[in-house]
Each structure stands twice: as C-alpha cells, then as structure tokens.
Amino acid sequence: MSMQRCAPEPMRFEGDLSAECALFHALADPARLRILATLARSSAEVCVCDLTAGFDLNQSTISHHLKILKDAALVSGERRGTWGFYRLAPGARERIDGALSTVLPLALHV
C-alpha cells in the first residue's frame, strides 16, 4: 500500500558536497570570518602581527585560523623570517559563490 503524499516528492541532491562542507566549515567561525573580511578589504598583504594587534586573540590562535583558511584555499600567504604575510587568495570569492550555487541553485526556486 502506498502512502499518500502531502506534497510532491523533493528532488534530492545526490552529489558529493565534501568540498563545500570544508569551505563552509572554514567560514563558520566568527574570528575566521573577520580575518577573511579584513584581508578582503586590504590593498596589500597583512602580517600576522597586525592581525594579532587588531583581534583579541594571541598569535598562535590567529595562525591556526589562517591555516584553516589557507587549507580551504581562501587565503594565501608566505613566511618572511619570523612572520607570515597573508592576502585573500585569487578566486576566493568565486569559490564561495560556487559553493553557494551548488547548495542553493537560483534557477530551481525563484
């Protein structure tokens, strides 16, 4: 016996969303989101020491957050002596837009 549905059966997404999960995880922390917003507004690379001065976090915590953002390909950076210098990664906006479009496609519901 089939059960009567109260609405049409939803179109299930069957694709792999692991890349989107990793990206959204990187964005899900308030400190990481503030770091990303800061780097996105900077015309030049930013030293970890400058981020430490502007946040209520120690240098090792800032570096941990930067590593997560770097692993998600949202920031890029390099070491110079003791300090690391970071900038928004090329294509970061497109990666975020692409992940949102995968999860929430505009054409399905307008």
Tell me the pLDDT tens digit for each residue of 1-26. Answer: 567 778 887 788 888 999 999 999 99
Give backbone dihedrals phi and psi of 84, rounded to 5 degrees, phi first.
-105, 145
Give backbone dihedrals phi and psi of 87, rounded to 5 degrees, phi first.
-150, 165
Token readout for 25 is 């995880």
> Chain centroid to CA 72: how far?
6
Q: Is the pLDDT of residue 110 over 60?
A: no
Q: State mean pLDDT over 70-83.
A: 94
pLDDT at position 106 = 76
Q: State mean pLDDT over 54-75.
A: 94
Look over the chain and give the mean of its residue pLDDT values, rounded to a whole number. 90
Calculate what percentage of the chain has a pLDDT beyond 70: 95
| Domains in the chain with CATH codes | 18-98 (1.10.10.10)
Q: How far is CA 13 from CA 10, 16, 21, 86, in A?
A: 9, 9, 14, 36
Q: Is the pLDDT of residue 104 over 60?
A: yes
